[in-house]
């Protein structure tokens, strides 16, 4: 093989590899929130607060527990306020975490990967997964006697 031809092949393959690499894709899943759990626990010392935040949601794969992680407390506060009147959200799952989302009961998700959807205005033609099935019945808590 001629050195010029070999050099062209090497250059072409290098350029192809450089431009074919991109950020990992993510998949969007629609979830229907039916229960939220939130707790702040002060940590002794520098005044840091540990936040425990999770949602019980209905998905196309059944009920899931979404454990919400991340440090964007402003967005978290806005999202908690938004959940008072709305229950439909889109959750972005990285492609590498897709199998975990499908088969795990509890999934860690960054707070910035949760996005609200107004169900009355949402039109989804050719949705990948569609809206989740009907939400489960609310759990009736018995009051102590």
The alpha carbon of residue 72 and the mean position of all alpha carbons in its chain are separated, in whole angstroms, by 14
What is residue 137's predicted lDDT score, i.e. its pLDDT? 47
How big is the CA angle at 32 (ends 26 and 33), to the nearest 5 degrees? Answer: 110
Query: Which residue ranges make up each domain of the chain?
Result: 26-116
By C-alpha distance, which of 77, 91, 88 is closest to 121? Answer: 88
- Specify the CATH number of the domain 26-116: 2.40.50
- The pTM (predicted TM-score) of the whole model is 0.66
Give me the average pLDDT of each 10-residue run along the chain (145 residues). Answer: 68 58 67 91 82 92 92 92 89 84 91 84 56 50 55
- Residues with Cβ < 8 Å from 105, sequence gap 6 or more? 63, 64, 65
What is residue 142's predicted lDDT score, i.e. its pLDDT? 55
> What's the order of all strands across the beta sheet hosting 26-42?
106-110, 62-69, 49-59, 26-42, 88-94, 114-116
Residue found under tokens 């998700």: 109
Euclidean distance between CA atoms 136 and 73, whole angstroms: 29
By C-alpha distance, which of 31, 30, 76 is closest to 53? Answer: 76
By C-alpha distance, which of 132, 122, 133, 111 is closest to 29? Answer: 132
């Amino acid at each position: 093989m001629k050195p010029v031809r070999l050099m062209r092949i090497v250059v072409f393959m290098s350029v192809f590899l450089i431009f074919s690499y991109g950020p990992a894709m993510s998949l969007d899943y629609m979830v229907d929130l039916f229960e939220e759990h939130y707790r702040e626990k002060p940590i002794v010392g520098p005044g840091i607060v540990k936040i425990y935040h999770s949602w019980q949601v209905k998905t196309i794969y059944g009920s899931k527990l979404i454990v919400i992680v991340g440090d964007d407390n402003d967005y978290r506060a806005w999202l908690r306020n938004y959940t008072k009147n709305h229950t439909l959200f889109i959750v972005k799952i990285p492609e590498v975490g897709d199998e975990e989302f499908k088969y795990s009961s509890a999934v860690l998700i960054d707070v910035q990967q949760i996005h609200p959807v107004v169900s009355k205005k949402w039109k989804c033609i050719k949705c990948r997964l569609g809206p989740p099935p009907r939400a489960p019945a609310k759990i009736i808590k018995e009051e102590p006697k």
